Amino acid sequence: MDYELNTTNKYHKEYLNTLGWELTICNSLYDDKGAIRKILIENESFGRLLYKHLNRFFPMDKIKKVLEIGGGYGYLMKDFLDTNSALIPTMIDISPYLIKKQQETLKNYKVTFIEDDFLLVDDTMLAGYDLVIMNENLGDFPTVVDLKREIFNIPKEAITDPLVKKIRNFFEKYSLALPERDIFNFNLGAIEALEKLCRNTIPYIYIGEHSCEAQPPLQLRPFLNILPVGNPERISLMGHDEYTIKFSYLEDMGKFFGYNVIRGVFGDFIPFRWDKKIEYILATKGRYGDEDEMIYHFVEDLYKYEFLIFLKSDKEAHNSKINGLKEY
């Protein structure tokens, strides 16, 4: 089989020494004097906005043990702890460099740090967590690239390649829609990570990442270059490639495990102010200034990044209806 397995483990373990090249939404909102903060309706950091958003769907003040996978510089968790000091946090990260950064950022808080690949840790480590956060990291997890749709024509017993067999099993088990393209990419690591969380019945799970299925709202379509291509797309970054995520597959898995699933875009909880200046920046695609360019890409990301919230209890899912967001 002539597919490729894209992994970023070596990069994260051996080479990564900054996240500067991949300015995440969380990091771009951290500086309260930064250009991006000025366009927000609520001048808040990412972690605070996310905390408030999650609290619309389940009671964040009842959460005790929280696990953040791939927490980057640790800013999101710092915001959570500043908002709710009763949280008992654990950070797991594959990167020795970023674990050190997280230890610096969170030095005034009681936090457990684990340096490991989340996909390799034993299920027993997940016992007792109320909430798991995965923000902007599933794209780094292994992706199988350039698979042929023909793999669905071969009887399963005749498949000799264990990876292809595994992928066929995922499609069957979670009733995933077959890819429309002859050649497709598959977010294997994202599926495995979510499966691990769901089979361990984590009550609340949040995932946010670049999506290959996102569409901007109608009024922003003339301004933003976002197409729901439906197939995980390669993003080439410093020293590694990552892939956008096919969110509908994760959504299907959540339902399979009996979760209520809320799906939306980052723009739902990071609203920005609409005025003449923003309209100009979007209309000119930010090409007339560095700050404009940054703002343009930020706004584009607000609609290219999707989130999923998985809820185990019916009661909290009911609250999501009250809030009028789309429930799946």
Ligand X SMILES: C[S@@+](CC[C@H](N)C(=O)[O-])C[C@H]1O[C@@H](n2cnc3c(N)ncnc32)[C@H](O)[C@@H]1O
Residues making contact with ligand X (CB under 6 A): 12, 19, 22, 24, 26-27, 69-72, 92-95, 98, 117-119, 135-137, 140-141
Q: How near is the Cβ of 119 to ligand X at its closest, in Å? A: 5
Q: How near is the Cβ of 30 to ligand X at its closest, in Å? A: 9
Indicate the residue among 144 and 151 with the shorter CB distance to ligand X.
Answer: 144
CA distance 89 to 110: 8
Q: How near is the Cβ of 253 to ligand X at its closest, in Å? A: 18
Of the candidates 78, 23, 21, 69, which has an alpha carbon nearest to the alpha carbon of residue 45?
78
Quote the tokens at residue 146. Answer: 């350039």
Q: How near is the Cβ of 44 to ligand X at its closest, in Å? A: 15
CA distance 95 to 87: 24
Cα distances from 20 to residues 16, 159, 197, 228, in angstroms, run: 10, 43, 29, 27
Q: How near is the Cβ of 126 to ligand X at its closest, in Å? A: 13
Indicate the residue among 135 and 185 with the shorter CB distance to ligand X.
Answer: 135
Q: How near is the Cβ of 194 to ligand X at its closest, in Å? A: 13
CA distance 236 to 97: 21
* Burial tier of 252 (Cβ tally within 10 Å: 0-12, 13-18, 19+): middle
Q: How near is the Cβ of 125 to ligand X at its closest, in Å? A: 12
Cα distances from 241 to residues 6, 13, 274, 297, in angstroms, run: 7, 15, 34, 19
Quote the tokens at residue 232. Answer: 């995980």
Of the candidates 267, 286, 201, 224, which has an alpha carbon nearest to the alpha carbon of residue 46?
267
Residue 186 pairs with which residues in a beta bridge? Answer: 144
Indicate the residue among 7 and 248 with the shorter CB distance to ligand X.
Answer: 7
Indicate the residue among 191 and 317 with the shorter CB distance to ligand X.
Answer: 191
Indicate the residue among 208 and 286 with the shorter CB distance to ligand X.
Answer: 208
Q: How near is the Cβ of 136 to ligand X at its closest, in Å? A: 4
Indicate the residue among 115 and 327 with the shorter CB distance to ligand X.
Answer: 115
Q: How near is the Cβ of 134 to ligand X at its closest, in Å? A: 8
Indicate the residue among 95 and 260 with the shorter CB distance to ligand X.
Answer: 95
Indicate the residue among 3 and 305 with the shorter CB distance to ligand X.
Answer: 305
Q: Let me know how long the chain is.
A: 328
Quote the tokens at residue 281. Answer: 């920046």
Indicate the residue among 92 and 188 with the shorter CB distance to ligand X.
Answer: 92
